[in-house]
C-alpha cells in the first residue's frame, strides 16, 4: 500500500428502479492518508452524501452501489451482504448532520456511548462505562462524569454533536466520515467542533472525510478538496490551491456565489441556471449549460477527468479548458 489509508475508485451509485433508475454518483475516486483530511464540497444533488453512505455501506433501500472499489489499508470492503458492516466495524465511523436524530431519547448519553465499546470491542460493562466518560472528556465535554447521566434533550446542539463524535470514536475507527456535522450548529459552536475534529486528527491520527456545502467551513478542516457536481468529482487538489486558483468553472462559480464576509467590493454572483435534475443530466460536460467558458464541443463529449501537471499530482479537473477558468 502506498500512503493512502482510504482509497476509493470508480464508485458509482444508482437510485430508483427499472426504467426510472438513474446514476446519482458516477466514477467517484479519491484517497485519504492516515491523519489526513479530505473535504467533499457540493450542493444538493451533487452526490456527496450518497458517496459517504456508500463508503459506510449505509445506502437506503432502492439505492445501489453499481461498481467501484473502497479499500481500507489495502483491503477491499464489500458494499453489501453480512460482511459489509462487519468489515467496517471499528474502522470506519460516521457523524451525521442532525445530532438529535442520531441519539436515542430514552437512554442517557453515557449509556449510548458505552454501548459501542461493549458491543463492538467486547469490553465489560464497567470498562465500557469508564471508556464512555473518557471519550466524552476527549471530545471536550465539560464535567463528563456528570454529563454521562444526561439524556439527549438535556444537552445543547453542540454538546449532542460532541456525543455523536464520541460515539463514532468509541469504536476506535481509522477513518471518520462527517456529513455536514456543523450545519445545525451556531457559528461560535461550529468553530469549536471544527477545532475538535482537527485536534482529533492530530492526536489520534484519524483520517477525516468531511462533506459540506459550505466552502468556507471545508477550508478550515480539509487539506485536500474534492468538488462534486451532479454525482461526479469535477475538481480535486490541495485545498488552498483549489480555492486559490480554481480549475473548474463550477468551483469558480461556487466561490463567486459565496457571500463573503471579507469582500464587500464584489457582490456575490449566482451561477446562472439551476442544478439539473439527476435523471436528466445535460450531455457532454454536465455543467456546460451554466458555464460561461463553454465551447460547442463541451455539449458533445464528456470531458473526462485529468490531472494537471502530470502524474503524481493530485490536482485534477473535469474541464476541457481549465486554462480559461484559471485565467478568470
Rg (CA), the chain: 21
Does residue 258 belong to the site contacting other proteins (CB under 8 A)? yes
Name which of 101 and 154 has its Cβ closer to other proteins: 154
Does residue 259 belong to the site contacting other proteins (CB under 8 A)? yes
Does residue 327 belong to the site contacting other proteins (CB under 8 A)? no
Minimum CB distance to other proteins, residue 298 (Å): 8
248 and 317 Cβ atoms separated by less than 8 Å: yes
118-121, long-range: CB < 8 A, 24+ apart: 120/89, 120/90, 120/170, 120/171, 121/90, 121/171, 121/172
> What are the cell numbers at 78?
464489500
Does residue 266 belong to the site contacting other proteins (CB under 8 A)? yes
232 and 225 Cβ atoms separated by less than 8 Å: no
Does residue 326 belong to the site contacting other proteins (CB under 8 A)? no
> What are the cell numbers at 127?
470498562
Does residue 240 belong to the site contacting other proteins (CB under 8 A)? yes
Between residue 122 and residue 151, which ones bind other proteins under the rule CB under 8 A?
Answer: 142
Does residue 213 belong to the site contacting other proteins (CB under 8 A)? yes
Residue found under cell 471499528: 90
Provide the 8-state DSSP code for 101: T
254 and 290 Cβ atoms separated by less than 8 Å: no
Name which of 106 and 187 has its Cβ closer to other proteins: 187
* Candidates 3-11, 114-122, 211-219, 312-320; binding stretch for other proteins (CB under 8 A): 211-219
* Candidates 17-25, 56-64, 249-257, 305-313; binding stretch for other proteins (CB under 8 A): 249-257
Q: Among residues 206, 228, 220, which one has the least CA distance to residue 6?
A: 206
Does residue 16 belong to the site contacting other proteins (CB under 8 A)? no
* Candidates 60-68, 93-101, 111-119, 247-255; binding stretch for other proteins (CB under 8 A): 247-255
Residue ranges of alpha helices (H) inside 139-186 are 144-147, 157-170
Does residue 156 belong to the site contacting other proteins (CB under 8 A)? yes
- The binding site for other proteins (CB under 8 A) comprises 43-44, 142, 156-159, 186-192, 194-195, 213-217, 219-220, 240, 243, 253-264, 266-276, 288-292, 294, 299
Amino acid at each position: 500500500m502506498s500512503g493512502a489509508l482510504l482509497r476509493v475508485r470508480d464508485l458509482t451509485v444508482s437510485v430508483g428502479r427499472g426504467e426510472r433508475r438513474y446514476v446519482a454518483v458516477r466514477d467517484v475516486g479519491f484517497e485519504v492518508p492516515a491523519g489526513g483530511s479530505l473535504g467533499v464540497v457540493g450542493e444538493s444533488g451533487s452526490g456527496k452524501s450518497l458517496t459517504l453512505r456508500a463508503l459506510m455501506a449505509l445506502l437506503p433501500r432502492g439505492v445501489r452501489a453499481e461498481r467501484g472499489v473502497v479499500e481500507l489499508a489495502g483491503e477491499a470492503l464489500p458494499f453489501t451482504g453480512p460482511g459489509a458492516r462487519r468489515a467496517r466495524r471499528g474502522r470506519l465511523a460516521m457523524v451525521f448532520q442532525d445530532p438529535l436524530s442520531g441519539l436515542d431519547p430514552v437512554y442517557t448519553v453515557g449509556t449510548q456511548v458505552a454501548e459501542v465499546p461493549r458491543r463492538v470491542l467486547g469490553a465489560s460493562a464497567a470498562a465500557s462505562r469508564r471508556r464512555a466518560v473518557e471519550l466524552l472528556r476527549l471530545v471536550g465535554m465539560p464535567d463528563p462524569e456528570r454529563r454521562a447521566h444526561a439524556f439527549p434533550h438535556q444537552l445543547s446542539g453542540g454538546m449532542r454533536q460532541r456525543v455523536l463524535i464520541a460515539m463514532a470514536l468509541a469504536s476506535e475507527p481509522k477513518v471518520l466520515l462527517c456529513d455536514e456535522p456543523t450545519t445545525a450548529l451556531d457559528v461560535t459552536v461550529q468553530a469549536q467542533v471544527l477545532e475538535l475534529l482537527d485536534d482529533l486528527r492530530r492526536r489520534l491520527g484519524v483520517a477525516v472525510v468531511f462533506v459540506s456545502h459550505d466552502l468556507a467551513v471545508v477550508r478550515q478542516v480539509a487539506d485536500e478538496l474534492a468538488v462534486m457536481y451532479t454525482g461526479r468529482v469535477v475538481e480535486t487538489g490541495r485545498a488552498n490551491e483549489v480555492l486559490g486558483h480554481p480549475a473548474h468553472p463550477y468551483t469558480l462559480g461556487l466561490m463567486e456565489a459565496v457571500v463573503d464576509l471579507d469582500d464587500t467590493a464584489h457582490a456575490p454572483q449566482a451561477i446562472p441556471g439551476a442544478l439539473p435534475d439527476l435523471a436528466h443530466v445535460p450531455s457532454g460536460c454536465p455543467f456546460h449549460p451554466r458555464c460561461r467558458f463553454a465551447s460547442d464541443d463541451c455539449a458533445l463529449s464528456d470531458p473526462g477527468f485529468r490531472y494537471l501537471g502530470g502524474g503524481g499530482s493530485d490536482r485534477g479537473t473535469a474541464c476541457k479548458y481549465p486554462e480559461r477558468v484559471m485565467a478568470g
